[in-house]
Structure 1
Amino acid sequence: MSAEYATFGLAPATRPGGLLAGGDFQLHRDFVDFVVDGRPLLYRLSDLDAVSPLAADVPPSLFTAQVRGLLLETGAPLPDGRYVVYGCPECEDLACGAVTAVIERDGDDVVWRDFAWQTGDRADLERDGYHGMGPFRFRGDEYRAALTALLDGGLPGSRRRVLLIGARVALLARLAAALRTIGIGADITQSADGVSADELRSYGAVLFGRSVPARERDAVRRALAGAGADVPCVDALAPVVPLLVAQAEQALEAGRDDHRRLTDLTAAGGAAEFEVVSACRVRLTAHRVDRLSRARSRDLFDAVLEPGRHRVLLDPPAVKGEAYLVARTAGTVLVTAVAP
């Protein structure tokens, strides 16, 4: 085993939720990711949709139990000293598959080794092992300090609520229901009048309906500033619920640019262009409004891409007229209008 040390840290992370083109949905999950040598550990797993056991929406007692397990204060939950490092974002069933590793003490150090994909009681390292990953040796004091800080509230929590402002109650009601379905709180109002400062500070983003006049948008921004709520305000692009959900998700990710795997999305000239920071699965979905004001959605691309600049040709009928593109990968949602 290598005697070289790796640095250990923690950082807030998000598995964006969303309504998918086929009518399915995926839950929004906020969690704490492991940062090894300055890079999120999840980035080493290019095609994995998963969250760590340190999720923000689990009961405090379970969250504390997970932290104390990683601190090796309790026995390993799986045979052979194995711990779940990343699991299914939709449930806690090991049968869905999980990334596990042996976590053990070596003197004062802590070692993570033998990473594997596991779906049963025991891992088959020869068949399912991540042979190019680890082992990682962490200095015990650094490792324990990072995890202990979680028990003291040392990592900022996320605000998973969106304030929806507008007069089109039916559309906003469908949007609020969709957001709640994927695990994001949503409230509807026509203005910020009468909303307390404490309430305004509880929101992670504000989304304005298309019909909200400029003066009302300015009034809401002033109310937020007066309450000390530094949250992004976004304008609804089109009356397409899955698109608005993606806009809300992107707004909730604001401030996490250092951990985006996908950046700089544009769509023009019949193609989409974007930058991939680390190898990951990228999905592109087109949303448009047809001549009869009906919403149309269509999946256009789904593949694992290597780091670098990428260009994907778009199917012209899918982006005809008023159209928008949503790009998704683990931890990132980006939305852009399709230029003619």
Structure 2
Amino acid sequence: MTVVSVLGLRRQTRIGFPCTFDHAEFLIDGEPLYPKIRQLYPNLDEIGCLGWGPETLQQTRIDRLLLTGDADFPDDRRSLYLCPACGDLGCGAVSIRIERADGRFVWSAFAEESADGSQAAPTPLPGIGPFYFEEDAYMKTIRSAYGLGGFHWPNQAERETPGESGERED
């Protein structure tokens, strides 16, 4: 029998480069997913793909995880964790395969990969997944990330227009 997990999201604050901002961390049965990934690859510095960036980009990411939008890697792989500075797949990403069948969404084939052409194939993340989620709850959870951290690029959160801060530019 397949164990059905509960997907959740938690608002998480990213402190450090490029600035301090909020994004969504994925929770599987109440446990954050990213620490499990970092155990395999301790040098990764990525954040959940949901809850940050401009409105259209946030909607694109939601659609991608709901399978109503295109995959962003070959072989129908979809990014889950991205570069916190720019979200560019060339910086590297944790990707997964998502399938929808029999009233469930399934996350499987977790891997680290890059779209910069330096890697021939995704590097598997063994021992993570697959995870099975009840369809309606999954869809509601993914959609709930919209706007969680605001609608801006993180590095714009602390930018000021010249002259507003009272400091001069050199």
- Class of the TM-score when normalised by the shorter of the 2 chains: 0.7 to 0.9
CA contact (8 A) 2:23 2:50 kept: yes
The separation in 2 between residues aligned to 1:37 and 1:100, in whole angstroms, is 20
Partner in structure 1 of residue 57 of structure 2: 62
The reply to whether residue 7 of structure 1 matches residue 6 of structure 2 is: yes
Relative to the length of structure 1, the TM-score reads: 0.41
1:116/1:123 contact within 8 Å kept: no
Which blocks of at least 5 consecutive residues in structure 1 are unaligned? Answer: 18-25, 159-179, 189-340
The one-letter code sitting in structure 1 at the alignment partner of 2:18 is L
Residue 119 of structure 1 aligns with an amino acid whose one-letter code is S
Match of 2:32 among 40, 45, 68: 40
TM superposition shift of 1:185: 6.1
Which of the two has greater strand per residue? Answer: 1
Aligned to 1:16: 15
Q: CA deviation at 1:150?
A: 3.5
Query: Cα deviations across residues 71-110 of structure 1 (Å, max 9, x unaligned)?
Result: 1112222221210111111223322211100011122100
Q: State the identity as a percent.
A: 34
Cα deviation for residue 184 of structure 1 reads 2.8
Give the RMSD, CA atoms, in angstroms. Answer: 2.9
Give yes or no for the alignment of 1:113 onto 2:125: no
Counterpart-to-counterpart distance in 2, 1:123 and 1:103: 21
1:89-136 CA distance string (max 9 Å, x none): 1223322211100011122100000011102368735xx100111011
Q: What secondary structure sits across from 1:45 in the alignment? A: helix
Q: Does the 8 Å CA contact 2:108/2:130 hold for their aligned counterparts?
A: yes
What does residue range 1-340 of structure 1 map to in structure 2 within 5 Å?
Answer: 3-17=2-16, 26-28=17-19, 29-46=21-38, 47=42, 48-56=44-52, 58-120=53-115, 124=121, 128-151=123-146, 155=148, 157=149, 183-184=157-158
> What amino acid is aligned across from residue 141 of structure 1 in structure 2?
D
Q: Where do 5+ consecutive residues of structure 2 fail to align?
A: 166-170
CA distance in 2, matches of 1:86, 1:92: 9
> 1-side partners of 2:155 and 2:93: how far apart?
24
Query: Given the superposition, is the C-alpha separation of residues 123 and 129 from structure 1 closer, same or farther in structure 2, using an over 3 Å criterion?
Result: farther
Flag the 1:123–1:53 CA change in 2: closer, same or farther, 3 A. Answer: farther
Whether the aligned pair in 2 keeps the contact of 1:34 and 1:40 (CA below 8 Å) is yes
**How far does residue 138 in structure 1 lie from its aligned partner after superposition?**
0.6
* CA-to-aligned-CA distance 1:189-248 (integer Å, 9 cap, x gap): xxxxxxxxxxxxxxxxxxxxxxxxxxxxxxxxxxxxxxxxxxxxxxxxxxxxxxxxxxxx
Aligned residues: 154
Q: Which has the higher contact order (CA 8 A, sep 6+)?
A: 2
1:70/1:181 CA distance change after superposition, 3 Å = closer
Using the TM superposition, give the Cα deviation of residue 27 of structure 1 relative to its aligned residue in structure 2, in angstroms.
0.8
Is contact 2:50–2:145 with CA below 8 Å preserved after alignment? no
Q: Deviations over 1:270-296 (max 9, x none)?
A: xxxxxxxxxxxxxxxxxxxxxxxxxxx
CA distance in 1, matches of 2:101, 2:54: 31
Change over 3 Å in CA distance of 1:93–1:105 after alignment to 2? same
Q: What whole-Å deviation, never above 9, does each CA across 1:280-321 have from its counterpart, x for those lacking one? A: xxxxxxxxxxxxxxxxxxxxxxxxxxxxxxxxxxxxxxxxxx
Kindly indicate whether the alpha-carbon contact (under 8 Å) linking 1:115 and 1:134 is maintained by their aligned counterparts in 2.
yes
The equivalent of 1:307 in structure 2 is: none
